[in-house]
């Protein structure tokens, strides 16, 4: 088309492309692009695998949101595979079952608690997640343990039991735990300072 050669800003009308290739999505596929809204199952899985290679880990729903201009939506994976986790499994990613995921979260909780020398808070976990994207988010852990009031406390109880059974914690130097005095989270309270009370 001579007008395109004369004017580099000229673009073909979408209807011209549809008439030439039969459909807009067929034209996108011929150009090596994925027709996001009408992608085949194979194309959806290929997109996930390529994203996993780029990230160096299993993709998450949040990754699709941040790449919504180039990736199919999470809802499209739900429609095609029944769930996003099922799509990840079909793409060949290691996606543990809920029980295994909760066990892994507890193991990570033990690791973090051992390093911090106390049980991790919601904010502690968020900071760890910012440093290590392979960790589940604090909200994912919250949902694993009930997604209701007390869910984080239930998670911490499992972490504390794992610590007590396999990796006993030592009290911080200079802050000995007082026998029998425990806080609501099960963490030993600090002994009261002499003369520190209000008059």
Return the minimum-mean-pLDDT range out of 4-8, 70-74, 133-137.
Answer: 4-8
- Tell me the per-residue pLDDT of 34-51, one tens digit each, with 9 for 90 and over: 555 667 888 889 889 999
Tokens found for residue 123: 């904010």
Q: Which residues contact 58 (CB under 8 A, 6 or more apart)?
A: 52, 88, 93, 94, 95
Three-state DSSP at 12 gives coil
**What is the SS3 string spanning 19-53?**
HHHCCHHHHHHHCCCCCCCCCCHHHHHHHHHHHHH
Query: Closest by alpha carbon to 121, among 98, 153, 144, 143?
Result: 153
Tokens found for residue 106: 């507890």
Single pTM value for the model = 0.45
- Tell me the per-residue pLDDT of 53-62, one tens digit each, with 9 for 90 and over: 988 888 888 8
Tokens found for residue 157: 């109880």
Which residues partner with 188 through β-bridges?
182
Determine the Cα–Cα distance for residues 80 and 155; give it in Å rounded to an integer: 33
Predicted confidence at residue 173, as pLDDT, reads 43
- Averaged confidence pLDDT in the chain: 75
| Of 185 and 106, the one with more pLDDT | 106
**Average pLDDT, integer, range 70-74:** 82
**Average pLDDT, integer, range 15-35:** 64
Extents of the domains making up the chain = 1-33, 39-95, 98-166
Predicted confidence at residue 35, as pLDDT, reads 59
- Tell me the per-residue pLDDT of 107-135, one tens digit each, with 9 for 90 and over: 999 999 999 999 999 999 999 988 887 88
Which residues partner with 153 through β-bridges?
none
Determine the Cα–Cα distance for residues 23 and 15; give it in Å rounded to an integer: 9
C-alpha distance from residue 110 to each of 31, 66, 130 (Å): 50, 31, 18
């Amino acid at each position: 088309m001579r007008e395109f050669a004369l004017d580099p800003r000229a673009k073909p009308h979408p209807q011209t492309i549809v008439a030439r290739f039969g459909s807009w999505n067929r034209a996108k596929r011929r150009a090596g692009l994925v027709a996001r809204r009408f992608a085949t199952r194979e194309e959806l899985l290929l997109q996930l695998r390529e994203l996993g290679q780029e990230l160096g880990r299993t993709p998450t729903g949040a990754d699709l949101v941040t790449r919504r201009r180039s990736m199919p939506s999470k809802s499209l994976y739900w429609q095609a595979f029944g769930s996003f986790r099922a799509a990840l499994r079909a793409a060949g990613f290691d996606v543990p079952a809920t029980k295994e995921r909760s066990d892994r979260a507890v193991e990570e909780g033990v690791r973090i608690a051992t390093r911090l020398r106390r049980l991790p808070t919601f904010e502690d976990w968020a900071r760890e997640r910012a440093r290590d994207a392979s960790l589940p988010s604090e909200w994912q852990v919250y949902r694993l343990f009930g997604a209701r009031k007390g869910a984080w406390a239930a998670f911490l109880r499992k972490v504390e039991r794992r610590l007590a059974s396999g990796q006993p914690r030592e009290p911080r130097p200079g802050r000995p735990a007082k026998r029998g005095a425990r806080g609501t989270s099960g963490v030993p309270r600090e002994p009261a300072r002499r003369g520190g009370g209000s008059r």
